[in-house]
Structures are given as C-alpha cells and as structure tokens.
Structure 1
C-alpha cells in the first residue's frame, strides 16, 4: 500500500504535467483502490511504469458515503507520478430501474471530468474489470475486458441479479475488442461468447512476501506451533467441513481475513485450537504469514470457484510456505509439487497434518519461492502490457 505522503489529494500535479498523461490507460475496477490488493490493482500499479494509468473505483452512492465512518476518499487524486485514482460518487438507487441509467450518466461524467483534469479527452485503452458493461462511457482506442471471475455464477454471493449480470455479460461480449481471462475455465466461457480470450492468470507479490521470516511474531497469535493458516475473505466459497476435519486432528488453525456476516464460523471458533483474528491490514500480512507453516485454500467446487484463480495459494508459496488446496482447475493448471490438492475432508486434513509434521525446511521454502517467482505480478504485467503496446 502506498503511504500517505505519496498521495496528492488535488489535481495540481496533474495540471502541471498534462503531457505525462498522454495515452493513458483507464482501469474501471471491480474493487476500490483502498479496499485491498486485487488483480486489477496489482496490474495497474505495475503497468503505470510503462503507461500512465487512471484507476477508477466502483462508484459509491451519496447515501453510502454519508454512512461511511471510515470517510473514504472521493474525487481524483494522484498516488504517484503517472498513476491517478478516481473515486466517483453517484446517485442513490444505482441498481434499480431508471436510476441505473442516471447513475451511469453521472459515473461517465465523473470519468470524463477526470480525463479533462489530466489534460486528456481520449484514452489509449479502457480496461473493464467488473460485471458492468462500461464500454462506451468515454472514447478509447482499445476496449479490453479483464474477466477475473464468472460474475453471473457468483451473483448470489454478491447479492446481485443473475439476469441483470447475464445481460451485462452479453453486452460486454458485444462491445469488447479483446478479452483477458485468468483461468482456462473462463477462456472456454468467453470463447463460447464469440471471443478468442488471452489467458493471463493471477499472480503474486513476490517482493512483498519474500522476507516474512524476518518478521516478529504477532502478539495476537496464541496457538501452539506448527500452525496451518487460512487467509482472505471468508464466505460460502469456503468448505467448512475441510477445516473442521483439520481441526479435529488437533491442528492449530489460524484464520485471518474479513467474513461475510451470513457465514458463521461458530463450528470452528468454539474449538481451543482455532483462532479467528478478523481482517488485518494488507501491510501486516507478512507478520501473520511468518506464524504459519502451511497455507490452506479450502474452496468448494462451485461453478464460481472453478472459474476463479485464488491468489492466496501462490501468495503462500511466495512466503515460502507449501499449501493444501482443493483441486480447482487453477490449482491443476499450476501443477506445483508444493501445492497438494485434496477434496474430501479426510484427505484434506491428513495432507495438512502430514505437511505440518514434516516441519519447515530451507529447501522447501526456497522451492516455493522459486515457483512463485515464475508467477509474479511483474510477469503478469509484462503480458498485459503487451496488449497495450
């Protein structure tokens, strides 16, 4: 995460350097810049070393903003030379009927004004990384869809209408000039919609996780070692039976991440060998990764999960930790000896226990990190940048 002293909250810098924003790339993201590090943020941050980038948050409504206790930033800001973030505000009721059209109009106007502040009227490329069809909101030479998930199959998880997302997907298929996907499953899906997708899987931040073993032990981790860890958002995507079986084998289990309110962890957290710490700042993740010996990705075999590419699995490797995961297509595609794929509760728990009993070794840690380097975000950004040249 960029530190506060790297932020410029007005457009003064932009107005002084309008020529430096020529040929910019606009990323209309599915997640807000300040929410965390997701694929579009990783890619856009690294692309900015080659092309100026305007990262556009999903619009927030005025009513949501007034209820926001964290006072998220709004408007245009420069986070570093060549990388700007726009956090637009739109009208209430953006997901309903006629107000949806009004919201789109306000949203498009926000982007055009941001471009004007940067001295531009047209973009080199518009990259859409959300389930909304945003192509056509302003002029761009290239229209690229960055499909990180199957949004239609995940409609229930996101609390959105599957019919609406299906209509948006059809419009994206019509308007996009190129589709970039993160898994083979998504490549087949978009091929069925008439495209020849480019496969650029998710990556990992190898620089950030390289030195986790130099971190101090986190004071709020009170578990006997060795420890297996689950990092990331906890929701119905997680197969709790796999973690329950693992905990039943007296494995110390650490859970770190946000939780969907409807997703109960009571069956786990009632056990003395399980700790749920809640969400932690991304900047502190190294400390918690240093505490674990094995990383876990216990995803269900839902259609949404099978189309996804869980970043946490290769982030464990980047930290020098082997992983146990369910056999999603992305895991099979990685084909890594340091990721054990098991689907039944008994097999998943036994694989975790066996890795923990093996203990840490420099050989395993080095092998995990060497594999992760081949799949770093720097590598992915080079592949993505080739589409923009």
Structure 2
C-alpha cells in the first residue's frame, strides 16, 4: 500500500476552497466519514465536495475517487484539507464498470485497502456512497452506519443493456442504507423500500464565491444577456425550447456555457444570438454569470432531469440574478424567487418579466438560507443521530 502525506491546509467553509500552509493537519475529530463517490475529487465543484468540507468540521473525511477505468497499483492517500483526505484505490481489472462481477471484485479490493489504512487511524466509520456501483463496499469497511446520497435516478443514465442490472444494484444500495439523503423533493417517491429514514437535503450554494461583487467577464452584446452554466445535452437540456425563444427574441444573447453534445450543438450553434463557449472552470463561473442579466434553467420536463435539483439555482440567486426555469418538480415544489414557465412563448414572457425585476436583496436572502454552511449544520445533526 502506498500512502502519500503532505503539509496541511486551511479551509474556508463558505468558499469551499483550500489554501496550503505549513501547519500539520489537526486531528481533533475521531469519527470517520468514508465518502465513496461517483465524482472524483479533482475539480471540487460538486455537491459531494461541499458536503465533504462541511462534514470535516467535526469529523475526519476520507474522500475516495471512483476506481479508475484503467489498472493502477496501490492505495494513494493525500491530505487535501482540514480533516479531509483524498484516496485513489487499486484497480486490477480494466472496464470493470461494465461487468457486475468485475465491479464487485474491484470495489471489494478497494474496501480492503481502505480498511487497512483506517485500522491504523482508529475511529468509528460511516460509509457514504452516492452511486449504485459502490454497493459492493457495504460491510467491507467495518462501518457503523451507511449513508446513501441520492442525487438522481442513477440507473436511468445507464445504457439500455445495463439498465436492469443498475436498477437492481441501486435498489440494494438504497435499501441497505441507515440514512438516505435526497437532493430533490421529487426523489423520495421513486426510492425503493429503505431501512432508514429518507431526508430531503437539497443542494446549496457558496455565498462568498457567488457574490455579486467581484470580477465580471464582459460579453460583447447589445441587448440583455441570458446565462446558463451546465451540460448542454439534448437528453436533459431543452435545446428546442431555447432555440425557439432565441428566434423569437433576436435582441437577446444566450450564453450556454458547459460541455455540449453533438446533437445540441447542431441545434443551437447556427443561431446568431446563441453562444456556446464550452466548459468553463468553476473558479471562472461567477465572473461569467455576473455579466448576465438572467439565469436560465431550461431543462426537459418529463424525463431524466425530473428528479434532480439544479445546483445552479441557488448560485444564480446568490449572485442576485433573477431565475427563469422550466417546471422541474424540485423547483415547483420549493418556494423561492423563481419564474416557472413551459413553452417558448411563456418562457420568453417570463424572461421579459425577470429583466424588469430588481429584487436583488430578496434573491440574496433566499440563497443565504440555502448556503452550504446551513446544509452542513443539518447534515452533521443527522449523522449525530446515527452515531451518538
């Protein structure tokens, strides 16, 4: 087993970032949360990263990357924040994600390596997983409790030939958890029978990072600028809606930042008032959005996006931007300053209203109530209930 160590780090919990120092890591917390995530640590812009920093306030967190698709030797553990460590696990078999038996073998091997590392650092352990593929690790860490963090219906994103197997694995993983978190109010009704309680814990926002005050990425546009940051994928992003509104209102500029699929680009890139700048580094997202007048959430309704809670919603509000969205269940059921509209004409009308809305303070206040700091307080309380 290979373990890397290094200097410590200080963490600004509202910002979610780290600054390296020469001070060794404090180890005042005893309990461990082992976060076996479907999202790697690199990038640090997702729900899992924000919650890891929040859990580290009074616990030690070992954030475990999903196994690499290529073989790799040894367990590598590196300190990355105050009470936060990052781990990459050994992988003996390539393409393991696509074969159930291979995935189970790789995950159990990873659990054994992690257990050996943790045995040298005593403390009660909570196993945290957020994808069905990590289910074989349950019971392999001598954990005192299991948390499943459901952010969508994992199995619906799998290929048709894997979907049934992934659905069964998802059912088993959720059913084995002592606590199930749901990022969207639309998820609990779709969950299988659970052993423990189901608690809706929506996404939050980083108030300091998404402050209205800061650098602005100026956009060359003569009229209002409407911004969106996220995946531009025709499976979840309603490109037909956006293209129709763009044709109806040529004086508006649509900036759709993020990775895009070929189908979405073919639909949108020929419109003169639609810009597809591609992926934007998370540190540059606030500056881009400060240059926009309205934040958009134009997701398809009645499909895969129905069970998600867009993290961008509170980030838009934290910047003081008015928000216009399609009627996603998570936003329809959740109070907040957002205009909901379905269809091109209604969506265009809602954007026109939003452009006249100057209630910046109300939007900032709504974001403050839904900061990651507040989410963290609630989450730590829930874990206190699991391990008194």
Q: 1:307 to 1:7 in 2, by over 3 A?
A: farther
Considering fraction of residues, name the structure with more helix. Answer: 1
Counterpart of 1:70 in structure 2 is none
Q: 1:237 to 1:293 in 2, by over 3 A?
A: same
> Hey, what's the Cα distance between the residues in 2 that align with 1:112 and 1:237?
38
Runs (5+) with no aligned partner, structure 2: 1-15
Tell me how far 1:142 sits from its aligned partner.
1.4
Counterpart of 2:174 in structure 1 is 173
Tell me how far 1:126 sits from its aligned partner.
1.1
Tell me how far 1:122 sits from its aligned partner.
5.5
Which whole-Å deviations, capped at 9, do the CAs of 1:6-61 have from their partners, x for residues lacking one? Answer: 699xxxx67xx7x6463111111121111342111111111111211111111113
Aligned residues between the structures = 361
Q: Any conservation in 1 of the 2:226–2:294 contact (CA below 8 Å)?
A: yes
> Hey, what's the Cα distance between the residues in 2 that align with 1:232 and 1:110?
35
CA RMSD of aligned residues (A): 2.5
Counterpart of 2:377 in structure 1 is 382
Tell me how far 1:262 sits from its aligned partner.
4.3
Counterpart of 1:154 in structure 2 is 157
Aligned: 1:344 with 2:343: yes
Which whole-Å deviations, capped at 9, do the CAs of 1:201-232 have from their partners, x for residues lacking one? Answer: 1111122112x3431334xx332342001111
Q: 1:374 to 1:30 in 2, by over 3 A?
A: same
Aligned: 1:32 with 2:40: yes
Q: Any conservation in 1 of the 2:60–2:83 contact (CA below 8 Å)?
A: yes
Tell me how far 1:114 sits from its aligned partner.
3.7
Runs (5+) with no aligned partner, structure 1: 67-73
Aligned: 1:102 with 2:101: no
**TM-score normalised by length of structure 2:** 0.85
Counterpart of 2:142 in structure 1 is 139
Counterpart of 2:95 in structure 1 is 93
> Hey, what's the Cα distance between the residues in 2 that align with 1:216 and 1:294?
15
Counterpart of 1:297 in structure 2 is 297
Which whole-Å deviations, capped at 9, do the CAs of 1:83-141 have from their partners, x for residues lacking one? Answer: 1111224121212254223312332233224424xx32554311111122132221111
Secondary structure at the aligned position of 1:388 is classed as helix
Secondary structure at the aligned position of 1:245 is classed as helix
**TM-score normalised by length of structure 1:** 0.85
Counterpart of 1:217 in structure 2 is 217
> Hey, what's the Cα distance between the residues in 2 that align with 1:252 and 1:82?
44
Q: 1:196 to 1:97 in 2, by over 3 A?
A: closer
Counterpart of 1:265 in structure 2 is 265
Q: 1:373 to 1:105 in 2, by over 3 A?
A: same
Secondary structure at the aligned position of 2:128 is classed as strand
Q: 1:217 to 1:172 in 2, by over 3 A?
A: closer
> Hey, what's the Cα distance between the residues in 2 that align with 1:200 and 1:98?
33
Counterpart of 2:308 in structure 1 is 308
Tell me how far 1:309 sits from its aligned partner.
0.6
